[in-house]
Structure 1
Amino acid sequence: MANFINAEMDAVPNQFIKTFDNGVSLYLKREDLLHPEVSGNKFRKLKYNIAEAKKQKKQAILTFGGAFSNHIAATAAAGKIAKLKTIGIIRGEELGINLPKTLKFNPTLNFANSCGMELKFISREDYKLKENPGFIQDLRAGSGDFYLLPEGGANALAIKGCGEILTPADKNFDYICTSVGTGGTVAGIINSSVNHQQVLGFSALKGEFLASEVKKNVNKENWKIITNYHFGGYAKVNAELIHFINHFKAEYDILLDPVYTGKLIFGIFAMIKNGAFPTNSQILAVHTGGLQGIPGMNRRLKNKNLPLIDV
């Protein structure tokens, strides 16, 4: 697409996965197919933010992320498409000491760099100040008048974009399930869901705090955050999860990412097995993309002598 923010998008397919013994049927909304480089919920979150940056006549977008951030990679790609400079504030000042080495061994940052993103590495202590007005002002002094995107891209415009994940064709599903990181994606889905639907957000992070964050941005009560399938916390994985992802790929020819969607689908399968869904329920799970991070994850898995994700 020449300019993804102006492109007319066809609805992504809902791919049938299987009907379980109790009659529960699972479908997967293939948001990962939206765009080859700005896929899934990142496409949705960036769509209106890119348009707003253009409207404000900003020349650059600045945002935050970790070394393997899907958001960093997607923002870099989107900026290149939209002809906007991008600046990534990356957690971990040690990564900037030998940038060529970092880029050699980090596929995410190498991709962002290849898209023209300016990478700035800061300490983990300074990174905690990413929402501090004084810290943002210092960044403006050094980088000019940029359009500011929060970590993960979650703001009101992102939630608006994520509200477009569901279409009128999805109204017959009983349950809508998605992974949750910052809460923006699930908030958009909740706001666009119909009253009879139950929205389940599967937390990729350890802790119970996400529900309060989501509540700030929704106007319905037909939702719940599931906190049983984070596998120890953000980006934490084990052999059981990797085996599940590989089996799912072999069975359905669909690749899941280990940080978000892999945990989501693992959780749904476990809940169905445990009888958490009524007989004959229709479930729609959202594949939010994130596949760009798999090469970096496989490098980590190899270092830990864990099985690798089949790609």
Structure 2
Amino acid sequence: MDRVTSDNPPGTADTAALRPLLPSPLVEVADERFARRGLRLLLKRDDLIHPDLPGNKWRKLEPNLREAAAAGTRTLLTFGGAYSNHLRATAAAGRLLGFGTIGVVRGDELADLPLNPSLAQCAADGMRLRFVSRSLYRRKNEPDVLASLAPPGCFVVPEGGSNAAAARGCAELGRELRGVADVVGVACGTGGTLAGLAAGLAGDQRAIGFPVLKGGFLGEEIRRLQQEAFGGARGAWTLEDRFHFGGYAKRTPELDAFAEDFAARHGLPLEPLYVAKMLYGLTTLAEEGAFPAGTTVAAVITGGAGVGWAGP
């Protein structure tokens, strides 16, 4: 299989050579649903940071890649489901920077099926896919199970890329938004982006996370990540649990209609599983009067609408 190679020595993390677009663009859009409440809506276009590592994928993976290179590691191992954008981003990073990559995929039944587009792209980028049962996958963080999955000397990146290094990387997102917004909305999968975003914002700003999974477990995870990354709680943040539309990868006609309408209004097709849910939530809050007149609301566009790229 042909592979694209980089000019970097294997296992280095010269991420500057990838020429990320940082800080990511910030654009204002005229949306009457916000304007009639006296609100401004800004879009933080993190989806434009890099074509192969867009959005929070860059912000979460880049510090992990640097840690792996500093440790002399040549192989990355990480975890994800059948449509994991984190797996795809890790595979792309490995191709571009010369790391070997291993993806542990939830669901051993998938090994007998044709690869979906996301996993096919992972394989094309050189990732070795290892399919495990769902019961074993749930135990992936247990030391004995992790030892059985990870070859000696490899660098382990957690599911979704969310760890202390990732949270510190996402703090730069908050710093880029200082002084330009009062409230910042972001979609949440594993919590690392919100943990870092809130830490990077100024004291008079707050972040709202919109979980795309059911369960209400993210608050504890965000607090844990902030403790590990920053030594304690940082920034003002809340979670809005009403807008998961049934859970991960779930969609409804109502959500699809909102995304189509937003694209027609603003010329921006929305990634449906993360970004559309977040913007639906922000729009609902605006129409409910949750923000006082004069508030500037920023929405973080963590992923594009192209095939295989979602949000956190």
Could you tell me the TM-score, scaled by structure 1's length?
A: 0.88
Task: Provide Cα deviations, 1:215-260, integer angstroms capped at 9, x if missing partner.
Answer: 2233235111111111011111111111111221222121221111
Aligned counterparts of 2:78 and 2:193: Cα–Cα separation in 1: 18
The code of the aligned residue for 1:70 comes to N
Contact 1:63 1:72 in 2 (8 A): yes
Aligned length: 289
Task: Specify the alignment match of 2:105 in structure 1.
Answer: 90
1:240 to 229, 243, 254: 254
Contact 1:68 1:293 in 2 (8 A): no
Task: Provide Cα deviations, 1:30-87, integer angstroms capped at 9, x if missing partner.
Answer: 0000011110001111101111111111111000000100100000001111100000
Q: Can you give the 5+ residue segments of structure 2 that lack an aligned partner in the other structure?
A: 1-5, 9-13, 227-232
Aligned counterparts of 2:306 and 2:141: Cα–Cα separation in 1: 26
Q: Does 1:262 find its partner at 2:270?
A: no
Runs of 4+ in 1 over 6 A off after TM superposition: 1-4
Contact 2:210 2:240 in 1 (8 A): yes
User: How far apart are 1:169 and its partner, in Å?
Assistant: 5.5
Contact 1:69 1:293 in 2 (8 A): no
Aligned counterparts of 1:260 and 1:208: Cα–Cα separation in 2: 16
2:78 to 46, 55, 63: 63
1:224 to 230, 235, 238: 238
Aligned counterparts of 1:163 and 1:295: Cα–Cα separation in 2: 22
Q: Does 1:273 find its partner at 2:287?
A: yes
- CA gap of 1:64–1:292, structure 2 versus 1, over 3 A, is farther
SS of residue matched to 2:27: strand
Paired residues for 1:83-162 under 5 Å: 83-98=98-113, 102-103=114-115, 106-140=116-150, 143-162=151-170
SS of residue matched to 1:64: strand
Contact 2:181 2:298 in 1 (8 A): yes
The code of the aligned residue for 2:173 comes to I
SS of residue matched to 1:138: helix
The code of the aligned residue for 2:254 comes to E
SS of residue matched to 2:213: coil
Aligned counterparts of 2:309 and 2:302: Cα–Cα separation in 1: 17
1:196 to 184, 193, 204: 204
Could you tell me the TM-score, scaled by structure 2's length?
A: 0.88
Contact 1:70 1:290 in 2 (8 A): no
Aligned counterparts of 2:282 and 2:61: Cα–Cα separation in 1: 28
Aligned counterparts of 2:177 and 2:107: Cα–Cα separation in 1: 44
Contact 1:5 1:48 in 2 (8 A): no
SS of residue matched to 2:294: coil
The code of the aligned residue for 2:128 comes to E
Report the RMSD for the aligned CA atoms in angstroms: 1.9
Aligned counterparts of 1:295 and 1:6: Cα–Cα separation in 2: 22
Q: Can you give the 5+ residue segments of structure 1 that lack an aligned partner in the other structure?
A: 297-311
Contact 2:85 2:308 in 1 (8 A): no
Q: Does 1:13 find its partner at 2:25?
A: yes
User: How far apart are 1:150 and its partner, in Å?
Assistant: 0.6
The code of the aligned residue for 1:12 comes to S
